[in-house]
Amino acid sequence: MTRAPIAVVGPTASGKSSVALAAAAGRVDVELISVDSMQVYRGMDIGTAKPTRAERDRVRHHLLDLVDPTDEFSVTEFQRAYRAAFADIAERGHRAILVGGTGLYHRAVIDDLDVPGEWPDLRRRLSDEADTVGPERLHERLARIDPVAAERMEATNTRRIVRALEVCEGSGRPFSSFGPGLDAYPPSTVTQIGLRWGRAVLTERIEQRVHQMMDAGLLDEARVLADAGLSKTAAQALGYKELLAHLAGETSLDAAVAEIVLRTRRFAVRQLRWFGRDPRVRWVDIQHDAIAEALPVVREALDA
C-alpha cells in the first residue's frame, strides 16, 4: 500500500535538509524528494544549498539536476517530475520525505493543484492594456467572462486581473475552473512539519550561510554560469542574480554579498508567511538545534 509522504517545510536556513537527511539516514525504506525550484538546475549547487554527493550517496534523492540553467522550468513540469518520482518510490514500497521551501511547488504537489498554463505574449499585451485603460476596465471584462474569478479579486489588483484574463483567453477555460486556488487548504494525507526559529536567530543563520557559500566558491560558480548563460527563471535565484550584477561591473563584491543577505532575509519572511497560512502544518519552534529538536517529531510521523 502506498504510504503518504512526510513534508519538512520552513524558511531558508532553518535546517530542513539536515533534519530530513537525519530522519532518512540508516533507513533503506526512506527517500528524499527536493521541492526546490532552483535545485532542479544542473551546476547551481552552492547557491541553492544542494545536497552534496556524499549526502546523495547516503540517502537517495529525487528532483535534483533535472535541466540545464539555460532552460526555463515551470511548476507544471515540476508536477510531472514529482509524480514520476513518487510513483518510483512507491513501487519499491518506500516512503518519501519532501524537503524544500518553494511554496508554490510544494502546494502544487501535495494538493495536486490544477495549474493553468502560461501565455507570455498574451500577458504582455494585457499588461500594456491595463497600463493604458486601467485595471478597472479589465476587471469589467473579466466579470463578463468569468464572474466567479472577478468576485475573488479587487478591481485594482492589476497582476491578478491580468493573470486571470491571460488564462481565460489562453486556455479557453474560466480561470475559476482551475480549482479553489491557494487560499483553500483541503484535507491532505501529507503530514507537514514546519521548522521555525526566532527572527533574530534566523537572520544570523542566513548571514552565516551566505558567507559560507562565498567561502565555498559561489562566485566562481556564478562566473561559470554567467559564461554559459542563464534562463530568465534560473537568473532569479538568490545569490546568482546579485553576483551576476557584480561580474557585469554593476556593483562591488561587498555590496553584492550584502544584497544577497538582505534578499535572503526578505525571502525567509515570505516563506514563513506562506507556510504560516497553512493550518495543516505542525510547527516545531527550534531553540538551539534543529536536528535534536525536530528529528523526533519527523521520526514519529514516519513510524505512524
Between the alpha carbon of residue 190 and those of residues 102, 281, 294, the distances in Å are: 16, 10, 17
All 3 cell numbers of residue 280? Answer: 495543516
Tell whether 141 and 276 lie within a shared domain: no
Q: Is residue 161 part of a domain?
A: yes
Tell whether 212 and 99 lie within a shared domain: no
Q: What gap in Å lies between CA 101 and CA 191, rounded to an integer?
A: 15
User: How many Cβ atoms from other residues are within 10 Å of residue 76's Cβ?
Assistant: 15
Tell whether 260 and 279 lie within a shared domain: no
Q: What is the pLDDT of residue 2?
A: 77
Tell whether 93 and 194 lie within a shared domain: yes
The CATH number of the domain holding residue 220 is: 1.10.287.890
Tell whether 110 and 228 lie within a shared domain: no
Q: What is the pLDDT of residue 1?
A: 61
Domain range for 74: 6-115+189-198+272-303
**CB distance 134 to 68 below 8 Å:** no
Tell whether 151 and 36 lie within a shared domain: no
Q: What is the pLDDT of residue 269?
A: 95
Q: What gap in Å lies between CA 89 and CA 83, rounded to an integer?
A: 10
The SS3 assignment for 281 reads: strand
pTM, 2 dp: 0.86
Tell whether 293 and 160 lie within a shared domain: no
All 3 cell numbers of residue 133? Answer: 485603460
End-to-end CA distance of the chain: 14
Q: Is residue 1 part of a domain?
A: no
Q: What is the pLDDT of residue 116?
A: 85
Q: Is residue 184 part of a domain?
A: no
DSSP secondary structure of 132-182: HH-HHHHHHHHHHH-HHHHHTS-TT-HHHHHHHHHHHHHHSS-GGGG-S-T
Based on the structure, what is the number of domains in the chain?
Answer: 3
Q: What is the pLDDT of residue 283?
A: 98
Tell whether 172 and 211 lie within a shared domain: no
Tell me which residue of 87, 67, 118, 102 sits closest to 2, measured CA to CA: 87
Q: What is the pLDDT of residue 178?
A: 84
Q: What is the pLDDT of residue 180?
A: 67
Q: Kindly give the parts of the chain with pLDDT less than 70.
A: 1, 180
Between the alpha carbon of residue 5 and those of residues 86, 185, 238, the distances in Å are: 9, 17, 28
